[in-house]
Amino acid sequence: MSANYWLKRWKDDDIGFHENNVNPYLDRYFTNLVPSIDSRIFVPLCGKTKDIAWLLNKGMHVVGVELSVSAIKALFIDLGLAPTLTQYGQLTQYCAGNVTIWVGDIFALTTELLGSVDAIYDRGALVALPFKLRKKYTAHITNITKSAPQLLICCVYDQSKHDGTPYSVSAQEVFDHYHRIYSLKLITCDAITNGVKGVKPANAVVWLLSRKNC
**Annotation: binding site for S-adenosyl-L-methionine:** 10, 45, 66, 123
CA gap 201, 183 in Å, rounded: 28
CA gap 49, 186 in Å, rounded: 24
Contact between 77 and 71 under an 8 Å Cβ cutoff? The reply is: no
Letter string b/e over residues 192-202, b meaning 16 or more CB atoms within 10 A of that residue's CB: eeebbeebeeb
CA gap 7, 50 in Å, rounded: 20
CA gap 191, 132 in Å, rounded: 27
CA gap 203, 168 in Å, rounded: 9
Contact between 123 and 26 under an 8 Å Cβ cutoff? The reply is: yes
The SS3 call for residue 204 is strand
